Amino acid sequence: MKHRLLPVFCGLLLSAALALTPEQEARTERLGNNLRCPICTGLPITESTNDLSVQMLREVRQQVAAGRGDREIYAYFAARYGNFVLLDPPKEGSNLLLWGAPLAALAVGGAVLGRFLHRRHPADEAAPPVTEEPFDPYLAEVQRKTRPDDLREGDGA
């Protein structure tokens, strides 16, 4: 009986020692929302119910209670589980390539599209010159005969 109560007593002692203020609890929640469960697919540890996520959230609480900074906590989990565990990796170092690659691809695609459209419709190209139709005597005769009467009188027709 004595041995059964020991883990319960230790758990109560640990939870009493980790009583966090509401601000610390909110910070723990925010940090946990940015840490991915290594087992689940894309779930933060605050939404996962497996044992590893529960343990990770407990470690976050301990580190928040110890006064560690956000970067220190993220670095601890990244060192332990890899950068994969961070749902929002830091925008520094080699991660800048990951953050900047979509923007660079968008800029290059826009430049290629702009160049293609500019080639297709160059602004400096003038409208094609209007050429007169070759003289067709039959068409000239039809036009002369179909003119209104007031214009035909000057023709002498």
| CATH label of the domain that carries residue 72 | 1.10.8.640
pLDDT tens per residue across span 70-108: 989 999 998 998 888 888 766 666 666 766 778 888 888
pLDDT for 8 equals 40
Which positions ≥6 away from 55 have C-beta within 8 Å? none
Token couple for 70: 């956000």
Whether 136 is in a domain gets the answer no
Which positions ≥6 away from 132 have C-beta within 8 Å? none
CA separation for the pair 77, 142 (Å, rounded): 92
Where does residue 48 fall: left (phi above 0), alpha (psi -120 to 50 degrees), or beta otherwise? beta
Q: Is 9 exposed, middle or buried (0-12, 13-18, 19+ CB in 10 A)?
A: exposed
Same domain, 81 and 97: no
Can you give the residue range of the structural domain that contains 105? 90-117
Token couple for 45: 């540890």
CA nearest neighbour of 20 among 77, 67, 71? 67
pLDDT tens per residue across span 117-148: 888 765 555 555 656 667 788 888 888 888 87
CA separation for the pair 91, 98 (Å, rounded): 9
4-to-7, 10, 17, 39, 140 alpha-carbon distances in Å? 7, 11, 21, 30, 117
Whether 47 is in a domain gets the answer yes
Whether 45 is in a domain gets the answer yes
Q: In this predicted model, which residue has the larger pLDDT, 129 or 69?
A: 69
Whether 124 is in a domain gets the answer no
Q: In this predicted model, which residue has the larger pLDDT, 62 or 130?
A: 62
